[in-house]
């Protein structure tokens, strides 16, 4: 998702009066603007947007987990669940299933990986090829099965 697409998402949420989606979009956009101003004026890349969404998702998921454990404010917990769902919908589709298996096989062949010692290189290449948008536990399992 690009910065412009995220901004358009915020505008659409305003028009639809979707407070949760609007709040999430504003939060992510604000964090991106803060990061851009700290790092000097530059164009915000799609990778930066995705990374910020992932960071926000991680923080919100952790807060949700703590809220569920505390179990004292059901309304806040439900709001956090909605925020997590919105953040997940903003992320690119993760590579999984048959597509992931094919990508693992292709990457192993390209790198000439043969042993478990090459697992880090293969996982790194998968991360680079997909911008980190893949099911990591499933990929690790597939790589482990194919390397002796």
Per-residue pLDDT of 22-47, as tens digits, reads: 999 999 999 998 888 887 767 888 88
Q: Are the C-beta atoms of residues 71 and 54 closer than 8 Å to each other?
A: no
CATH fold of the domain at 3-90 = Hypothetical Protein Yqey; Chain: A; domain1 (1.10.1510)
Sorted by where each begins, the domain ranges of the chain are: 3-90, 97-146
pLDDT beneath 70: ranges in the chain = 41
Q: Which residues have C-beta within 8 Å of that of residue 97, sequence separation ≥ 6? A: none
Bridge partners of 134, per DSSP, are: 95
Q: What are phi and psi of 43, to 5 degrees?
A: -70, 130
Categorise residue 43: left if φ over 0, alpha if ψ from -120 to 50, beta otherwise.
beta
Are the C-beta atoms of residues 103 and 129 closer than 8 Å to each other?
yes
Determine the Cα–Cα distance for residues 18 and 16; give it in Å rounded to an integer. 5
* Architecture of the domain spanning 97-146: Orthogonal Bundle (1.10)
Torsion of CA 129, 134, 139, 143, to 10 degrees: 0
Q: Is the pTM of this model over 0.75?
A: no
3-90 and 97-146 have identical folds: no
């Amino acid at each position: 998702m690009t910065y412009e697409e995220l901004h358009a998402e915020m505008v659409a949420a305003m028009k639809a009066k979707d407070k949760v989606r609007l709040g999430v979009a504003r939060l992510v956009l604000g964090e991106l603007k803060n990061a851009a101003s700290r790092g000097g004026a530059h164009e915000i890349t799609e990778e930066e947007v995705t990374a910020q969404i992932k960071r926000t998702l991680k923080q919100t998921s952790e807060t949700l987990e703590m809220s569920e454990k505390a179990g004292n404010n059901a309304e806040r917990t439900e709001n956090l669940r909605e925020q997590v769902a919105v953040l997940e919908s903003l992320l690119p589709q993760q590579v999984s299933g048959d597509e992931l298996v094919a990508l693992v096989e292709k990457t192993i062949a390209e790198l000439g990986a043969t042993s478990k010692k090459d697992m880090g290189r293969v996982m790194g290449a998968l991360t680079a090829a997909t911008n980190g948008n893949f099911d990591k536990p499933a990929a690790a399992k597939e790589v482990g099965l194919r390397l002796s």
